[in-house]
Structure 1
């Protein structure tokens, strides 16, 4: 397998991504990413290279590959001392602290299934998770331990081992106990199809689903993420992401360590654009990944006043609007490249380094995936025709697509059919093979027999200088069935008014087809989001449906003359 990783690393250096399409990874009987890749490639060959730089206010901790490997072995030995074995499950609810990284390494090496959880989750969320899958281990800080204890009590089942990263607490052991453990540990003999991660999806629609990834498919799948970012040995990579959702494992774990790069873990209490930009400059970050939500705030600053060392910049989590690309490129000289993936997979489509970029496009399929646009019956649609983003299954080729949905297995039949995996997203492909995102299947608006993708409308509104963020949803309408409504967060200094709403209506008319024009604009202070930064349009749709059912006139809501 090291040969495969070396091939990918060389292709990134040469920007020769076409050569990767001939690679067809075959699944071995046994595979463990830590013992088969991380240790021989990074720890043995480059023990003194920096693996992680962690920063929080004035605090800083650096780990070489040798040091973080030894720390992870101590963590694994501590778990084993308390009876944790291959196949057990760990629930991790931590802020961005170093124990995330060496804890993950320990669990992968020991065959312990990882269940990440965001710190924003409350007790009721944990109860749902514990009822779905009861972990044998929990790893938490003091701020989240209360919630875990309460959820455990309400669930009525005891957790075998609870590890606390700071202070003391009844029923918990201290993570500092690892320092009395050996720095050497034997890896578990994990099968390729053994479960590795249980991700509770961020839930843009309905209750969270449990996505199961395996020991071989998930790490191998993230080679596509490594190529999309364009990571190389010697890079310092910074990904704006909190632990608890899949993007952390994407860009803050597997992708950089697949090629021996250094990860910057910048822990913050709140997002301050100036501090983010200063850190990127001062630490000489070379590769950068951010959700568009954060980029929209960063581009409000004087980017040209910073002296960056950036080579590659990418964005993920929500489609990337052309306006962000243009402002960032003008100020920094770096082109932000968009990409597309899911909790259920890895980087599926992307604009790769050195390749032609079409502003607003997701790019082209990455090398492990055979992607098409299909109708509901599994037939590939014509060029430029909207359809479902699907993946063809080739049993002999391993990709990063998930193994199954846990518990709610009936959902598998909804997404795996016609020999395809249906992502649940809509897009179209142009004549050059570039994919263009339309929206989640549930997000597409049906108005007056037309289908309107929210992303296109949002992209136009975001080009207006007074708009910081926007979300477009369907609003029930007696004549049209639905009208297009835009929730708008204003940029600093702009104030909600009927005049500004009219200005945005006129602006939309100048840049959109008539049937796509928003008929309602509502100014709001913030948009509901998932922990991964995705806008929860499902929440806005439900709120809007209830409002129209009650015939309410909402504050700061304005209607087009031709509503």
Structure 2
């Protein structure tokens, strides 16, 4: 099947709500493939030049870009790169807030065959030094605040970035992005091969130093057809994804998923996350499809949702497992069911609840059409139904999937995840009799207590159902008799104060809803949970602090113990 026909087939399936036929698709890698010249331009720019591609908002400012306009800007950007000697296979380091150059910059680099290295604006100079020592770029694209960090890291590492482009103001050694206005609005695309490197994602590092995930020109955009079908986005929709540039989730749902079918992307740039302002924007701009991490949803459901008049048709959540309590509150207030999904920086949407299909609250859903997902033991053998195991993918490098190409310069890690003809995701789950998958936790996060294995997600989900709990993270706490006890770090809802009485209330609540061996034996109230800059809870950090605390026999402020600790 030709690439463009494949994309059109998926778009039809979404519009018609019939996904069964997608499992029969057998994409074949073409000899050459460039997503911009082969998909984006013929699908969107040539057929629908005046349709809106991007709606960008910041405070009271709004800018709208049609497909023709965003394409012209990307060609001008590409011509500027080539004027300064930047060539195919060179690497660009992008550290920008949520501003329009992200979108036309991505388009230009894909079309030119330039490898994109996204970076969050939260990264500091020391983080950039690690990245530059790992992969040194030929180009940097940044705003003035991040240009300072880039210059400092460049000096420390001792390299020289060939071209540095600044998006606001002026800076010595940097070229203003306004120079693109002098360039032609037409540009020829590079002849890229399907397995050429496209993205280098540095993971958020929940369990150690960031890994460099390499994605390719064909596998990654085409893999995101699973993301497109999961979101249920269609041409003419306004799609909003809460994600900052610099992370894979931005490329997922703020770039490929909507533009794979010609939808409009909402880029809502704000200085800080204010739930009321988010909800007001979703209402006023008439957002149709919405994607959010559970962290943001927990804040949104604290508001009076029923007072808003939304135009939403589809809502999905990604980043961490979605707790059933969020689904219930959102559905009751808006009438829209939030559908959970599971994927990784190393892939695209792997397991999802599709639009219009049966949803089991708490389940990740079923495998998407491009992936052969199984639950396997450590020796590569598929386990029985309802038995916990590793989430794995049958992996054949010659077949088209969105699985990453390699961890750059890390053969040992590659060998640890690609084995027995499988890709090991590092996550645990089990499959029920109907084929639905249920997340247990990261392999490193699973707690071994009194000879039982306990996934933190189930315990956290129960605690989050309590109205006084806003966020929680469950980890292992060293215990003389149990090996480990289950400990819950709890962030309380606004207006609630920590106390021994409340801790006992949560202990009793857990006893009423969990098996005895899953009950938290320690509760510590805290103001905030440590997170990666992409918003994922760093349980590894909590475990380390807890191990040191118990070694020193320390009892912390607002730490309470179960009667049967």
Tell me the residue number matched to 2:278. Answer: 276
Q: CA deviation at 1:202?
A: 0.6
2:524 & 2:357 partners in 1: Cα distance?
39
Q: CA deviation at 1:532?
A: 2.2
Tell me the residue number matched to 1:354. Answer: 356
Tell me the residue number matched to 1:95. Answer: 97
Segments of structure 1 that go 5 or more residues without pairing to the other structure are none
Tell me the residue number matched to 1:457. Answer: 459
Query: Structure 1: which 4+ aligned runs deviate by more than 6 Å?
Result: none
Tell me the residue number matched to 1:401. Answer: 403
Provide the secondary structure at the position in 1 that maps to 2:38: helix
1:470, 1:486 within 8 Å by CA — same for their partners in 2?
Answer: yes
Provide the secondary structure at the position in 2 that maps to 1:254: helix
Tell me the residue number matched to 1:551. Answer: 553
Provide the secondary structure at the position in 2 that maps to 1:151: helix
Query: 1:427-442 maps to which residues of 2 (within 5 A)?
Result: 427-442=429-444
Tell me the residue number matched to 1:63. Answer: 65
1:225 & 1:91 partners in 2: Cα distance?
25
Tell me the residue number matched to 1:115. Answer: 117
Q: CA deviation at 1:51?
A: 0.1
Provide the secondary structure at the position in 1 that maps to 2:341: strand
Query: 1:281-292 maps to which residues of 2 (within 5 A)?
Result: 281-292=283-294
Query: 1:24-63 maps to which residues of 2 (within 5 A)?
Result: 24-63=26-65
Tell me the residue number matched to 1:413. Answer: 415
Provide the secondary structure at the position in 2 that maps to 1:510: helix
Q: TM-score, normalised by structure 2?
A: 0.99
Q: CA deviation at 1:242?
A: 0.2
- 1:428-460 deviation per Cα after TM superposition (whole angstroms, max 9, x unaligned): 000000000000000000001000000000000
Tell me the residue number matched to 1:9. Answer: 11
Q: CA deviation at 1:397?
A: 2.5
2:397 & 2:244 partners in 1: Cα distance?
34
2:136 pairs with 1:125? no
Q: CA deviation at 1:41?
A: 0.6
Q: 367, 370, 373: which is aligned to 2:369?
A: 367
2:85 & 2:412 partners in 1: Cα distance?
34
Tell me the residue number matched to 2:158. Answer: 156
Q: 328, 333, 336: which is aligned to 2:335?
A: 333
1:245, 1:531 within 8 Å by CA — same for their partners in 2?
Answer: no
Q: 371, 379, 394: which is aligned to 1:377?
A: 379
- 1:512-563 deviation per Cα after TM superposition (whole angstroms, max 9, x unaligned): 0001000000001111111222111111111111111111111111110111
2:294 & 2:152 partners in 1: Cα distance?
35
Q: CA deviation at 1:395?
A: 4.5
1:312 & 1:15 partners in 2: Cα distance?
12
After TM superposition, the structure 1 stretch with the greater mean CA deviation from structure 2, 532-541 or 327-336, is 532-541
1:142, 1:167 within 8 Å by CA — same for their partners in 2?
Answer: yes
2:512 & 2:399 partners in 1: Cα distance?
48
1:549 & 1:81 partners in 2: Cα distance?
61
Query: 1:521-560 maps to which residues of 2 (within 5 A)?
Result: 521-560=523-562
2:412 & 2:82 partners in 1: Cα distance?
35
2:401 & 2:123 partners in 1: Cα distance?
31
2:523 & 2:562 partners in 1: Cα distance?
8
Q: CA deviation at 1:396?
A: 4.7
Segments of structure 2 that go 5 or more residues without pairing to the other structure are none
Provide the secondary structure at the position in 2 that maps to 1:460: helix
Tell me the residue number matched to 1:445. Answer: 447
- 1:239-290 deviation per Cα after TM superposition (whole angstroms, max 9, x unaligned): 0000010000000000000000000000011000000000000000000000
Q: CA deviation at 1:138?
A: 0.4
Provide the secondary structure at the position in 2 that maps to 1:424: strand
- 1:392-448 deviation per Cα after TM superposition (whole angstroms, max 9, x unaligned): 024553000000000112110000000000000000000000000000000000001
- 1:193-231 deviation per Cα after TM superposition (whole angstroms, max 9, x unaligned): 100000000111110000000000000000000000001
Provide the secondary structure at the position in 1 that maps to 2:186: coil
2:163 & 2:342 partners in 1: Cα distance?
37
Tell me the residue number matched to 1:233. Answer: 235
Q: 76, 79, 86: which is aligned to 2:81?
A: 79
Aligned residues: 563
Q: TM-score, normalised by structure 1?
A: 1.00
2:478 pairs with 1:476? yes
- 1:338-389 deviation per Cα after TM superposition (whole angstroms, max 9, x unaligned): 0000000000000000000000000000000000000000000000000000
Tell me the residue number matched to 1:185. Answer: 187
Q: 501, 504, 516: which is aligned to 2:503?
A: 501
2:498 & 2:383 partners in 1: Cα distance?
43
1:396 & 1:408 partners in 2: Cα distance?
21
Provide the secondary structure at the position in 1 that maps to 2:347: coil
Provide the secondary structure at the position in 2 that maps to 1:317: coil
Provide the secondary structure at the position in 2 that maps to 1:522: strand
Provide the secondary structure at the position in 1 that maps to 2:14: helix
1:129 & 1:219 partners in 2: Cα distance?
24
Tell me the residue number matched to 2:514. Answer: 512
Q: CA deviation at 1:60?
A: 1.2
